[in-house]
Amino acid sequence: MKKAVFAVLIVLAMVCLVSCGGSGKKSAKDTLEITWWIPKAEDSTYYMSYEENPGVRQLETMEFNSHKVNLKFTVPISGSERDNFNTLMMTEDYKMIFDMSFCTSSPMELLEDGVIWDLTPYMEEYMPHYMQIIRSDASLAPYVYNSVDGEKKILSLYSITNETLGNFMGLNYRRDWVAKYGTNPKTGAKFTYGYTDPSDYNTYYDDVVFPSGGNDPIYVSDWEWMFGIFEKAIADLGITDGYCISLYYKGFSEAGGNFDSAFGGGTPMWFRDKSGNAEFGGTSEALKTYLQMMNSWYQKGWLDKNFAEHTADQIYAIESAKMNSGKVGAFVGRRGNSGGQMDNGDKLTEGIMVYGAPPAINDVYGSDAVKNKEPYSLYQYSHLRGNLCISKKASEEELKTIMSMLDYLYTEEGGCILAFGLTKEQNDILKDPTYAKYNLTEGAYNKEVLADGRFAYHRDVKLVDDNDLASAMAAKRLTIGYYSPGFVPALNESYTKCALYNMAQWDKYYNTGYIDKALQNQFTPDEAATYSKVYANVDTYMAQNVPKFITGALNVNGADWDNYCKMLNKYSPDKVTKIYQRIFESVK
C-alpha cells in the first residue's frame, strides 16, 4: 500500500514538474521570452552579452500587446555566421526572430517550407507604423513585398532609413597637387591655396577652377585636364612607381558610379534604368565607350598599369600602401582619406589635401547617345538596411506580441533607441550600468524641437568621437526599425568638415539604378538557381575579358568586341534581366 502511495506521489510530482516546465517560454504570466538570432553583437569591452545592451534592457521594461518581453540572443562566432545559421536551420533549432543576412533561402522558400510566418494578415493591426512607412515611399515596394501566387505578401521586415546614410566611399583626388601644379585653364594664372588656420586642415582654401568652369571636376574633360597636372606632379616629386588613377581589378564596378556609369548612368552589370525597367549593361554601347576611354587612359599612362593584378584589394583601398604614401593622384577612397588625414609628415604626404569628386559625366568619348548623361553615385546606401523574418517557433499569440514590439522600433522613439540609445529620462528610470560605466548620465542624446516642428538630435560628444562606443550604447545590432528624418545629420556629426564635403560630392547624383541585393529575397527557388548560375558565368567572363580591352590585349573597336558580346550572351544574362523585370512589375 505504502509503495502504491509513494508511486502515485512520484507520478503527481512529475506531472507537476512537467506542467510547470511547459510554460518555459513565459516565465511569468505576462512576460514572453523571445529568442532572436543576430549575426553580430558588440565587443565584450562594453558588456558580455547582447541581453545587457541598454536598448534591449529598455525594451524589456515596456509592454507590448499586454506582455512584457525577455529577449534572448543567439550570436555566432565571427566568421562562422553562415555555418551557425545553417546548422540552426538544419536542426530546426532556429529562433523566433532571425536576421536574414546569412540565410541562403529566400523568404518565399522559407514560407513554402513552413519555417516562417506570413505576416500579411497581422500587419495592419500589429504593425501600423511599419505599414505607414512603406506606403509613404513607393520605391520600397519591390523590396518589402513578395509576390506569392499573384498576391502581395509581407514575409520579412526591413530596417528602413528615411535618408540615405551618406556614402562611405567615392572618387577622391589630390586637390593639393591640382592647386600646386595646375594653372587656371582660362587665364593661365597659378592657383592660390593655403589654410586660414595651419593647425587645422579643415580650414584649407584654394581658387582652383576646372575647365568646365566650376570648382569641382564634373566632366571627363575635367578629369583628363587633371591627369595632365598629376603627370607633372609625379615627375616633379620624383615618384617612379606612382600613377594618376587606380582602377578596380575587374575594370569596372558592379554597383555603378565609378567612371563606368559616366556614359548613360547604367552599370556594366544589371541595373534599373530611369524608367524603372531592368537592363544588362555588359554588352552596351555605354560599356564599349567606357572601355575605349579606359584604353586611351591606359595607353597614355594615366591608369595603373597593373590594375588587373590587385585582385585582393577592396575597391576603396586599391594598392593602399601606395595610395597612403602619396603616390597616387586619384582613387576611390573612404571618408577616412578625406582632407589632410593621410598626412604622414613625409615628403609625399606633407600638406596633402584629398577632395571628393562627384561621379564624372562623359563629354569626350563616343556618340551623343553616351554623352552628357547624369551618372549614378558609386554604390550608395539604399533606404534598406537588412531584414528579418519571424519563424513558426513563435505561436500566433507570441507572433502578435513580437510584431507589436518590432513596430515600436518603427516609431520615432523606438528608432532613437536603435540609432542613438537612451535619453536621460529613460536612463534615469533604467539606471543602466553601462551608461554609468561610461559616464553617460545625461543620456546618449538630446532632442531639440526646430521652428518647423521637426526634431534635431544632438549626441553626447563621447559618442560622436567614438563610433564603437556609440554603437554599443544604442541597439544597432538589431538591424530593424526606422531612421526618422534628422537621424542621419546627427549620425554625421562624427565626420570632419572635409569628410562631409566629400560625402556630399559622392552623393551628388542619386543611384537610381543600383539593384540592392535585398531584391534577391524576392527570387523563387528556380529564379535563385538561374541567377546563381548566370551570375557566376557572367561575372567570371567579364572579369577575365574587360581588363583585356582596357590594356589593349583585345581590341574594343574590332571583331574582339563582337566576339565578347556573342560569348557573353551565350551565358544568357537576359534570363536574370527577365527575373528582375518580373519582380519590378509584380509589386508595382
What type of residue sits at position 373? K
Cα angle value 167/173/179 (rounded, 5°) = 135
Q: Which of 532, 555, 557, 563 binds another protein (CB under 8 A)?
A: 532
Burial class (CB in 10 A: 0-12, 13-18, 19+), 497: middle
Among 31, 86, 492, 572, binds another protein (CB under 8 A): 86
Q: Which of 77, 90, 450, 461 touches another protein by CB under 8 A?
A: 90
Nearest to another protein of 314, 540 (CB atom): 540
Size of the site for another protein (CB under 8 A): 35
- What is the gyration radius of the CA atoms in the chain, in angstroms? 28
* Closer Cβ to another protein, 501 or 535, answer by number: 535
Of 404, 398, 380, the C-alpha closest to 157 is 404
- Joined together, the cell numbers standing for residue 249 give 581589378
Q: Which of residues 250-309 bind another protein (CB under 8 A)?
A: 250, 306, 308-309
Tell me which of 215, 311, 557, 563 binds another protein, using CB under 8 A.
311
Part in contact with another protein (CB under 8 A); list of ranges 54-62, 78-86, 404-412, 501-509:
78-86
Residue nearer to another protein on the CB measure, 56 or 542: 542
- Least distance CB 382 / another protein (angstroms): 18
Nearer to another protein, 130 or 379 (CB): 379
In this chain, which stretch among 80-88, 165-173, 188-196, 200-208 interacts with another protein, using CB under 8 A? 80-88
Q: Judge contact between 262 and 365, C-beta under 8 A.
A: no
Decide if residue 454 touches another protein (CB under 8 A). Answer: no
| Three cell numbers written together for 584 | 519590378
- Angle at 360 (CA atoms; ends 359, 366), nearest 5 degrees: 140
Which CB sits closer to another protein, 369 or 529?
529
Give Cα 538 to chain centroid, integer Å: 24
78/240 with CB nearer another protein: 240
Sign of CA dihedral 90, 91, 96, 102: negative
Nearer to another protein, 63 or 113 (CB): 113
Is 547 an interacting residue with respect to another protein (CB under 8 A)?
yes
C-alpha to C-alpha distance for 308 and 291, rounded to whole angstroms = 14
- Return the closest-CA partner of residue 480 out of 142, 64, 38: 38
Side-chain half-sphere exposure of 138, counting CA atoms within 13 A? 4
Stretch that binds another protein, among 257-265, 346-354, 489-497, 529-537 (CB under 8 A): 529-537
How far is Cα 136 from Cα 541, in angstroms, rounded to an integer?
41
Q: Is 93 in the site for another protein (CB under 8 A)?
A: no
- CA 560 from chain centre, in angstroms, equals 36
Sketch the per residue contact string, 466 through 505, with another protein: x for CB under 8 A, - otherwise.
Answer: ----------------------------------------
**3 state SS for 252-299:** CCCCCCCHHHCCCCCCCCEEECCCCCEEECCCCHHHHHHHHHHHHHHH
The binder of another protein chosen from 97, 165, 354, 528 (CB under 8 A): 528
Binding residues among 553-572 for another protein as defined by CB under 8 A:
570
Residues near another protein (CB under 8 A) are: 82, 85-86, 89-90, 92, 104-105, 109-110, 113, 115, 249-250, 306, 308-309, 311-312, 520, 525, 528-529, 531-533, 535-537, 539-540, 543-544, 547, 570
